Amino acid sequence: MAFLKTEKGGLMNMLKKLSTLFAGFALMLGSVDAKKYEDAETKKTLIVYFSHTGNTKLIAEKAQEELADVNWQVDLQRIEPQKAYPEYGDKLRNLALKEANEDNCRPEFNSINVDVQSYDLILVGTPVWWYKAPKIVLSFLEKQDFSAKEVRFFITHGGGPGTCISDMKTACEGANFGKNIDVYGNYPGNGEIDYEKVAPWIKKIKNENNQ
């Protein structure tokens, strides 16, 4: 009996040692994985957008939601006019038309404390106003230094995108451009956006930046 007791105790001890060893090994593997995450460089993306009736905002928020990851910091900034634009309707249409026709018009926006140079990728979104990029978006873009930065645009419109994207490209001097999207947006916004068009664009951005 005494022999059996010793044997049983010995067996138990061996099993205990094995499980400790196994747990240690699993922990080691876990920490290797965690370390891999810690060591990977964090990508920084800025999503900056203007949106009056909410369509463009929906895409901006979707992009943030999809791109944000352990190693992907995504900051969202909205361009807000210092003097609020009128509700949708004739007053807004007329004011926007006046701004569109004045080449040098650059409406003031509430200060945004960002430097695009500190980001790896910048996504810029806007509605189309009178076949152009709203002047307030140019106000923001022209205040930044886009040299050598990766920039992608997303715009929403009611069927006539006009020169909106090329207006913004001109304002982002020195940047590198890739695939942009233009998406239909009801005027005024009704909370509906064609995410089937947005999803592949976000996926492409994700793939490009995970390489």
Per-residue x/- track, 36-55, ligand FMN (CB under 6 A): ---------------xxxxx
C-beta of 177 vs 187, nearer to ligand FMN: 187
Choosing from 44, 62, 93, 204, the residue that interacts with ligand FMN (CB under 6 A) is: 93
Cα 149 to its chain centre, rounded Å, is 15
Q: How far is the CB of 164 from ligand FMN (least distance, A)?
A: 8
d(CA 28, CA 12): 24
Q: Identify the three-state secondary structure at position 59.
A: helix
Pick between residue 149 and residue 157 the one whose CB is nearest to ligand FMN. Answer: 157
Stretch of residues binding ligand FMN (CB under 6 A), selected from 27-35, 62-70, 90-98, 101-109: 90-98
- Positions in 131-170 near ligand FMN (CB under 6 A): 131, 156-160, 162
Enumerate residues 6+ apart whose C-beta is below 8 A from 1: none
Residue 127 binds ligand FMN, judged by CB under 6 A: yes
Considering all CA atoms of the chain, what is the largest pairwise distance in Å, rounded to the nearest integer?
102
Distance between CA atoms of 160 and 155, rounded to whole angstroms? 11
SS3 per-residue string spanning 112-161: CCCCHHHCCEEEEEEECECCECCHHHHHHHHCCCCCCCEEEEEEEECCCC
Q: Name the residue among 166, 174, 180, 112 with its Cα closest to residue 140.
A: 112
Nearer to ligand FMN, 54 or 81 (CB): 54
Q: How far is the CB of 208 from ligand FMN (least distance, A)?
A: 25
Single-letter amino acid, residue 63:
A
Q: CB of residue 119 vs ligand FMN: minimum separation in angstroms? A: 22
String marking each residue 166-195 x if it binds ligand FMN according to CB under 6 A: -------------------xxx-x------
Q: Which residues bind ligand FMN (CB under 6 A)?
A: 51-57, 88, 92-93, 96, 127-131, 156-160, 162, 185-187, 189
